[in-house]
């Protein structure tokens, strides 16, 4: 009996040793890969620092000014190069249409800019801007009525005369309603105790 149990335990120990060896080998492989990745990260960070320093040097305004004067033939602006709007040529007027009945005649509400825009297009096509200006605005729906914030008891009169009364009449009506409520409950509790 001892011999088969010993063989089974020995086989289990060999299997466990093999599994532990493969796991240890995989862990060492992953550690080597991790160290290589960490080295690449530090090299990339150093390269980024160098590139930022080079970018800062290359973008110095004095250096760019010297390069633009050396390689570009640009000169600063003079006052004689500036002009005003009156010097621009006038916009040519469109030729009159041969169509006897244009479909997009400007209404009194359209602005001259819209009329000029709509005249440049073919008369059969209506511009979206002119259509939006000619459309009537939609009416806003009425807001729903909000319920009253005041609580009215059933015993209170809801006629306009009662609501327009002084604060003392409201207080008296409330007192009467409370007496009716608590008086009934006091009588009911008194009847129950007897």
What Cα–Cα distance (Å) separates residue 111 from each residue in 15, 32, 117, 121? 92, 76, 10, 16
> How far is residue 177's CA from residue 154's CA, in Å, rounded to a whole number?
9
Q: What percent of the chain has pLDDT over 90?
A: 29
Establish if 146 belongs to a structural domain: no
Q: Which of 37, 65, 93 is the last residue of a domain?
A: 65
In the chain, what is the greatest distance between 2 CA atoms, to the nearest angstrom? 119
Q: Which of 43, 65, 87 is the last residue of a domain?
A: 65
Establish if 58 belongs to a structural domain: yes
Establish if 123 belongs to a structural domain: no
**Mean pLDDT, the chain, as a whole number?**
75
Establish if 31 belongs to a structural domain: yes
What's the pLDDT score for residue 156?
56
Q: Which domain holds residue 7?
A: 2-65
Structure-token match 């040793």, residue found? 17
Domain count for the chain = 2
């Amino acid at each position: 009996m001892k011999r088969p149990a010993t063989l089974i335990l020995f086989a289990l120990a060999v299997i466990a040793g093999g599994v532990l060896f493969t796991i240890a080998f995989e862990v060492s492989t992953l550690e080597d890969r991790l160290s290589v990745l960490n080295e690449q990260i530090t090299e990339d960070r150093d390269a980024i620092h160098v590139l930022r320093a080079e970018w800062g040097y290359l973008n110095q305004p004095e250096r760019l000014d010297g390069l633009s004067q050396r390689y570009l033939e640009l000169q600063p602006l003079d006052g004689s190069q500036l002009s005003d709007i009156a010097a621009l040529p006038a916009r040519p007027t469109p030729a009159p249409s041969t169509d006897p009945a244009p479909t997009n005649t400007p209404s009194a509400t359209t602005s001259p800019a819209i009329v000029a825009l709509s005249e440049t297009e073919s008369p059969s096509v209506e511009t979206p801007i002119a259509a939006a200006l000619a459309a009537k605005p939609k009416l806003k729906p009425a807001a729903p009525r909000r319920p009253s914030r005041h609580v009215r008891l059933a015993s209170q009169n809801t006629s306009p005369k009662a609501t327009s009364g002084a604060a003392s009449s409201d207080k008296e009506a409330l007192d009467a309603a409370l007496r009716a409520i608590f008086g009934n409950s006091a009588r009911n509790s008194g009847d129950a105790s007897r």
